[in-house]
Structure 1
Amino acid sequence: MWKKNRISDGVVGIYLYWVRRFRAYCRRRHLEETSQLTLDGLRRFLHAYVGPLTKGPVAPSTCFVAQHALHAWAWALCALQVPVSEWRPPRAPAKLTPLLAAYRQYRCSHYGVAEKTVQQDIETAKVFLALLPGGSKSVSKASVADIDTFVSRLSARLSKGTVADYCSSLRAFLRFLYTTKRLRCDLASCVASPRIRGAERPPRALPWGDVRRLLGSIKQKEPPGKRDFAWLLLMATYGLGAAEVLGLDLEDVDWKSEILHVRRPKTKAEIELPLLPPVAKALAVYLQAERPSHVQSRRIFLNSTIPYTPLTSSAIRQRVRLYARQAGVDALVLGAHVFRHSHATRQIDAGVNPKVVGDILGHRRPSSTSVYVRVALRRLRQVALPVPR
């Protein structure tokens, strides 16, 4: 199974070395192997293990190798339908106060609020409550002065854009307090956040030539080149965000009907996109030649190392920057979202109706699409007025 997932013979030998020693340790102590195959069990094993050469504790680098080996063993047993304990038990969620618990339920009941946004809103509420003289007990006495103190402290150490995000979260919390009769007055309108003009930020769209250079810089003959080429082509072709690409399951590709089913992470709405031949080919090559086998996850894009968990947005961001350096592409803003901007700008430049572009991108309001119009330089030059003499 390890060899089917392109793990070399040398690495397999190292894995088996540590598996044999772990099993011997369990036999000596009359321990059940599968119940000990956890991160905590690994630490107990390494604490008791004595190196054959050093006759003492193992080095940190050796511990790192042993952890990879036993984690790979646990994954293989799980893939073979052998019951094993969870390698790293999930952390118990932090206990919220009754006020914050009610606020979380309030935010989650509103359609279109992502879980990450809810978490940010909770953290903002915690910071604001900590500023009040009596904490959450004095929330009914919150004043405009408390709001100004909150914003001024953030402004002293954070950028304008970050402060504006915090202010938006604070407004949501203040509306909740007013709606639930915990505040007599609606103080949301009193939150004065920094004013950010859309034109202040540099255009996030890349010239289409740079996008093609990025795609060309990926070495598809070496893992994970086929995987990275497939997700980057998806983002460049359809303007999908990282969350939309990472949320794709194997069932979302309808090969017979040539349709790609995409779910919007915020609204949970599903759209159907035509499965274009170049995209279909890139996906098929990755799925047949590079995607790990014997995995339980139905996500299309997985990490290339055991335990083959779904790819994350931070991994995509790092890979985009790597390929940008290889292609010699230099931009002030580089990340997954830049391909969404590049796709939309290219469509606007080509004369596509902004309403159609907005529908494909999942925008509810035309103002959300207007940000791409200001960087559609080709069309803007056509409507430029002559300079008066």
Structure 2
Amino acid sequence: MTTFTKAGLERLRERMAAHAASGAAPGIVTLLAGGDGEVHLDAFGGARPDSLFRISSMTKPVTAVAALLLAEECRLHLDDPVSRWLPELANLRVLRAPDAEVDDTVPARRPITVRDALDFRLGAGMILTAEAFGYPVFLAAQKLGIAGYGPPSPALPHTRDEWLARFATLPLVAQPGERWLYNIGSHVVGALIERVTGQTLEEFYRERVFEPLGMHDTFFTVPAGKAGRLLDAHVAGEDGSVTLYEAAADSAWLRPPAFADAAAGLVSTAGDYLAFARMLLRQGEPLLSRRTVQTMTAGQLTPAQSEQAFGGASTWGLGVAIATRRSDLWNTPGRYGWDGGLGTSWWNDPAEGVIGILLTQRLQFPTENPVYLDFWTSAATAPAR
């Protein structure tokens, strides 16, 4: 059973309170959970323990769990071609090189599979370098208004079928299975879930994930009666200054999206996400089987792909990253989870039996965010030895 030291918890609270007071993150909620039901939930600045946060890419693990529920029921299989349900994605072409012109292509060597979409090796997605956003294929995607190539926003007007039709006009960046590329895979999984089930993502997630886990404050669209708990979102500048990114009172998350963003569209609370994290730490109980969770949290990438994507310190499973070596105080091998671009983060550490959740609304790359760095440093040193 993991317990936390009083000194470690106080150090965490002091750092978060200082960040809130400075305006670095006007609202912060932190949660550490250990064995035997021990939970330490704190709110700082303008946040309350039940404040609603745009959790951005912490949506991706939820989407993976939803797809794996269908796999357990044999409604799809990991190595099925997605074109069985998404015929728009059959017979795609592939760029000769990532920076090639969009008409400089060759045929795809094989179809995209469900596994490819979940482990982000479908051949489409973001290359997370500054120069890559100037590549012709990414400029073409932006011109088409295809969600998934920029900051999280559920406000784009395309329906699922429109999104698929536009996406299918673009060539893949790499052959299926060859390279880890970020984000777009979850959009494809979202479209797949809707086609397989005949339900919207909001309906299916509510029925099969949120209600069974008691997640009553997790939504793609914030209900009017709960809108007052949504925080403003902010963006950090290069000089560390923080300015308004999106006001809660006029948030896009208050209006139903044309096609829910399965990569980054959810709003949630620390308590709700704890329920989701505990389900995985309990090896799937009560949603998934133990073997399904073990598959989800096992690395799917080759060593070369992990090195290219994460510098060799982590790898990617099905909707989550998994730490593979101690690259920092908190990066314990076997630890799994993911971060959100608007300042949120969740990781489970099975070896320690610890769950950590950080919720802010500060748009910034996680390892450049001082709140993120101080939270995880403090969280790693808070458990008793």
TM bucket by the smaller chain? Answer: under 0.3
Higher fraction of strand: 2
Higher RCO by CA contacts (8 Å cutoff, separation 6 or greater):
2
TM-score (norm 2): 0.24
